[in-house]
Amino acid sequence: MGLRVLVVDDSRAMRSVIKKTLAAAGFPVDECYEAEHGLEALEVLDQHEVDVVLSDLHMPEMNGLELLETLKEQDRVPKCFILVTTEGRKDRLKQALGLGARGYVSKPFQPEGLRKILSLFVGEPDGQDMEDGPEGVDF
């Protein structure tokens, strides 16, 4: 059974890059939902179960931290919630981890960076070998 993924980013270009990276890495994706910001993401999560959320932090309407806070309050943070963000502030990233995010990938990213961190939580895609650890699960 393939993954059900939700990509949350206000940039269509970035959502496209993330989706293509997942496909190129060989992850089996059954469904890939998209949301432009946290409010849209909540609507998607109301209607669909997902295995993985890949979310930006800086977004209009509802940012990634507010999305995590809302999900935490409702006790429904997906098990694999990973940030794909330009945010470099450790306090904000720690706050996100405290709310249930499992790690982060810094933009700009190499496809390998996203593959590695996702592999930790959903397993290796077919024919891929892990090398170094992901960039953002340890502070």
Q: Which residues bind another protein (CB under 8 A)?
A: 10-14, 16-17, 20, 58-60, 85-92, 106-110
- H or E segment at 90? helix 90-98
Which residue, 90 or 131, has its beta carbon nearer to another protein? 90
**Closer residue to another protein (CB): 74 or 86:** 86
- As measured in angstroms, the least distance from the Cβ of 30 to another protein is 22
Going from the C-alpha of 42 to that of each of 6, 59, 128, the distances in angstroms are 10, 14, 32
The answer to whether 122 touches 3, Cβ cutoff 8 Å, is yes
CA 85 – CA 9 distance, rounded (Å): 9
Residue with smaller CB distance to another protein, 47 or 89: 89
State the minimum distance, in angstroms, from the CB of residue 79 to another protein. Answer: 27
